[in-house]
Structure 1
Amino acid sequence: MMMTRRSFILSAIASSLLASSLTGCSQSNSVKTLTPVEIDTHTTCDLDGMLLADYAGPKAQIFYTGNDTPTFFCDTVELFHTLLAPEQVKAIAAVYVQDMGKADWEQPRNNWFDAKTGFYVLGSKRHGSMGPTIASFAQETDAKKFAAEWGGKLLRYAEIKADMVDLSGGALHDTRM
């Protein structure tokens, strides 16, 4: 059977479309690993422009779906306020917070972990950049030790509710503003 030029071209186009659709499927099914980005002296909070390195307490970052760079927060209260806001409609690929069981409270660096797996202490005497903060820990034993020393209530990620994250007090506690 002899193939006409038109049949050959249509066959080539169909093969090309099939190959590209199969490649597209395999690419869309692959999961891209998003790793936390370390802060530096120029990293700013996406909500208020504060320099993260200038403030004590746990920091946070969100990778929104489709973005390779995170949105930074100078405090976990800001993070949870954003996550729990009813108008939050952006799809989230990853959320990271700092493990305050390992990081220096006054100048936290590194020690990022998946926020959804963490343990949190709400209502302690320790303050972050926005005043009262939610201390984040990768290990429950570290969170319990912190709560015993500084006070507060131990919570899991899913137990933190919108009425627990109040941003109104931040400016009252910031002597640098």
Structure 2
Amino acid sequence: MKKLFPLAMFPLLFACNEGDAANAAAAPVAIDDHDRCHICGMMITKYPGPKGQLFLKGTESVPKFCSSRDMFNFALQTENQRQITAMYVHDAASTDWESPSDSHFIDAKTAYYVYGTSKKAVMGPAVAPFSTLEAAEKFANEYGGRVLDFQDITLELLADSK
């Protein structure tokens, strides 16, 4: 029995390693100067405002978006919702609005958002993401808009361009 125990543990070692690899694959990736938006095809880095990216089950490609708004327009479609394993957006409080740094991606599901701001972004009203509620409230006080949680972002909200 003692000789069989190490052999029985062998598959568990691989299971742990696979999980680690999957988690590593879900880390945000840099947006290249030549990357195009998964929704509209525009050059992502050419425009201001926070960007987004997400990971889908069963694929190694990373759909990237010229705005967090476009990312939500894709992610909230019923046929896409179950396929998403991770979503990232730029933290607008930690990076330059005109040229967001990829070292400031945050988990989109835990972010706070300001919608209806006067701050210009690409593809309609900005959905400005923040890592803290305080930063979102400060931004809304300065540039207008209302503070929302992840679950408050809906296709209906995005369709209303006010």
Which TM-score applies when normalising by structure 2? 0.82
Q: Which amino acid aligns with 1:166?
A: A
Q: Which amino acid aligns with 1:47?
A: I
Write out aligned runs for 1:3-18 (5 A): none
State the match for 2:111 in structure 1: 118
State the match for 1:74 in structure 2: 66
Q: Percent identity?
A: 34
Write out aligned runs for 1:150-169 (5 A): 150-166=143-159
| Higher-Rg member (1/2) | 1
Contact conserved, 2:56 with 2:85, CA < 8 A, in 1? yes
Contact conserved, 1:39 with 1:109, CA < 8 A, in 2? no
Taking structure 1 as reference, are residues 160 and 89 closer, same or farther at Cα in structure 2, changes over 3 Å only? closer
1:57 CA drift (Å): 0.5
- Look up the SS of the partner of 1:145 in the other structure: helix
Write the distance in 2 (CA, Å) between the matches of 1:62 and 1:89: 11
State the match for 2:40 in structure 1: 48
Compare the two structures and name the one with the higher strand fraction.
1
Q: Which amino acid aligns with 1:116?
A: K
State the match for 2:79 in structure 1: 87
Of the candidates 44, 49, 52, which is equivalent to residue 60 of structure 1? 52
State the match for 1:39 in structure 2: 31
Structure 2 unaligned spans of 5+ = 1-7
1:86 CA drift (Å): 2.8
State the match for 1:105 in structure 2: 97
Structure 1 unaligned spans of 5+ = 1-17, 170-177
State the match for 1:10 in structure 2: none
Q: Does 1:144 align with 2:128?
A: no
User: C-alpha root-mean-square deviation of aligned residues, in Å?
Assistant: 2.3
My pick for the range that moved more, 121-130 or 81-90, is: 81-90
Displaced runs of 4+ in structure 1, greater than 2 A?
Answer: 18-33, 66-69, 86-90
CA shift digits 1:98-148 (9 cap, x unpaired): 000011111112200110010000111112111311001111111111000
Aligned residues: 151
